[in-house]
Amino acid sequence: MLTYILRRIGLAGLMLFGLVCLTFVIANIAPSDPAALAAGPDAGRSQIEQARREYGLDRPLHEQFLRYVGDLTRLEFGRSIATGRPVGADLARYFPATLELCIVAMIIGLVLGVPLGILSALYKDGPIDHFTRIFAVTGVALPPFWFGLLLQLAFAAWLGWLPTSGRLSVFTEPADPITGLLLVDSLMQGNGGMFVEAASYMALPALVLSFPCLAQILRVNRSEMVEALRADYIVAARAHGVRPGRIVVVHALKNAMLPTLAIIGLRWGWMISSTVLVETVFDWPGTGLYAVSSAIAGDFKPVMGVTLIVGLNFMIANLLVDLMYGVLDPRLRSA
């Protein structure tokens, strides 16, 4: 098992180094000039050259790359050229909002997707199965930004039940940050009113973000449950009089969850990256909105930082899934 874990960690490390190289190359082949952006729109040639020297952009590429990697080993992501603020400080401020949104969306996907997949398999080819299959196809095919606009029209503009943008009302003073996750911090400080308000602001973006994940979990879980319920060991369990609920939960679901775990790992990475669209639609103050505003300004340091954070989360999620696979299926440890 230890060899299996070390092999997976080594592979994740290689992928992370590849991502570092990729972000550096893309930032250096981009058409915009960071020195001109740093110097300002009215700067002359001498001021642009001074900014280039100040940010080390006049150095050879290999020196810039080594400096970039060295900074990353100290968890320094450089400074935003547009604002002058450290990118690491900005990421620490914005990432908890994105993380909280993704956690809630994943919980919605799991809590609804797994039971619906089980129901669909148990009532295969019945009305419930047809409904959930149409629901799953819709969830995979529906563009998140379009779905988000529909929900804003329905629940905010027409019904007036939920807010459309932001994380809290502009009149509400946020809770003192402990974890950076508003729902958790408000509960830890016993502020029920803020918890309800934060949950109402999160409802629509979390639902939009969870919908494709929910649909894919439902489809995979249904397919695996159908196969598992046909297996010989399930027939034998029924013949021995094992209760139907135990057959589904203990015997069939355990095997059906293996591919679902892989989907969760892949979808977690997709969620972190998809927040770019969802946060833009709902004006959610997370890393997605931060990356979009920085890219529009031609400021690539924040974009590189966000890309690395997204990639790192994707790799960690897949590493955890691989390790859980190794625990659940011992044959994979020697593969």
Mean pLDDT over 35-55 rounds to 76
* Domain range summary for the chain, segments of one domain joined by +: 32-74, 93-332
Supply 311's token pair. 């990639």
- Looking at every residue in the chain, the average pLDDT score rounds to 83
Cα–Cα distance measured from residue 90 to residue 55, given in angstroms and rounded to the nearest whole number: 19
Which tens digit of pLDDT belongs to each residue from 249-307?
777 887 777 777 777 777 787 788 778 888 888 989 988 888 888 888 778 888 888 88
* Amino acid identity at 162: L
Supply 18's token pair. 């590849």
Task: Indicate the pLDDT class of residue 107, thresholds 50, 70 and 90.
Answer: very high
**Element containing residue 272 per DSSP (H, E):** helix 253-282
What share of the chain has pLDDT > 70, as a percent?
Answer: 96
Which tens digit of pLDDT belongs to each residue from 63-74?
888 888 888 888
- So what's the pLDDT on residue 332? 61
- The winner for highest mean pLDDT among 137-141, 217-221, 313-317 is 217-221
- So what's the pLDDT on residue 134? 87
User: Does the model's pTM come out above 0.75?
Assistant: yes
Whether the per-residue pLDDT at 206 is higher than 90: the answer is: yes
Taking the CA atoms of the chain, what radius of gyration do you get in angstroms? 24
Whether the per-residue pLDDT at 187 is higher than 80: the answer is: yes
- CA nearest neighbour of 76 among 63, 62, 90, 96: 90
Supply 15's token pair. 């992928």
The class (CATH top level) of 93-332 is mainly alpha
Cα–Cα distance measured from residue 306 to residue 314, given in angstroms and rounded to the nearest whole number: 12
Longest dimension (CA), the chain: 86
- So what's the pLDDT on residue 202? 92
Whether the per-residue pLDDT at 216 is higher than 70: the answer is: yes
- So what's the pLDDT on residue 178? 83
